[in-house]
Amino acid sequence: MAKPFSVERTLELSALITLVGIILAVIGLADLSAGTAGFGGWSIWALMAGVIAFLFGIFWLAGYLRNVRDFKALIDEQSKAAFIKSMDDIEYLAWKLPMRYEEELMEKKKRFGLR
């Protein structure tokens, strides 16, 4: 079964949201610092939206990268006993990550002779 678009493209979407947040914040800050905008104008709203988008994107990206790092650490296990012991964690991480990680897990299970 295919995963949602937001799961399959987490890296790209979180990086894009972070970039949009930076651009909005810089534009809002530049307009505020130029002195041409009054308080409550569009520039303050752009600055706030930019900061919120930046923080959301950074946290989403950091969570994704942490899950990938944890998955790679668990899947690189060479011992079959240790792999089986951490199988629940590996399957949960593969479920949260894009489909290519589930396929990598299936290959590793096949190599160890697991179902």
Residue 36 burial (10 A CB sphere; 0-12, 13-18, 19+): exposed
60 Cβ neighbours under 8 A, 6+ residues apart: 10, 13, 14, 17
pLDDT at 48 over 90: yes
Reported as a single tens digit per residue, the pLDDT across 59-113 is 999 999 999 999 999 999 899 999 999 999 999 999 999 999 999 999 999 998 8
Residue 39 burial (10 A CB sphere; 0-12, 13-18, 19+): exposed
Alpha helices in the chain, H assignment, sequence order: 5-8, 10-34, 42-75, 80-85, 87-96, 99-112
Give residue 2's pLDDT band: very low, low, confident or very high (50, 70, 90).
confident
> d(Cα 12, Cα 16) in Å, to the nearest integer?
6
What predicted TM-score, i.e. pTM, was given to this entire model? 0.84
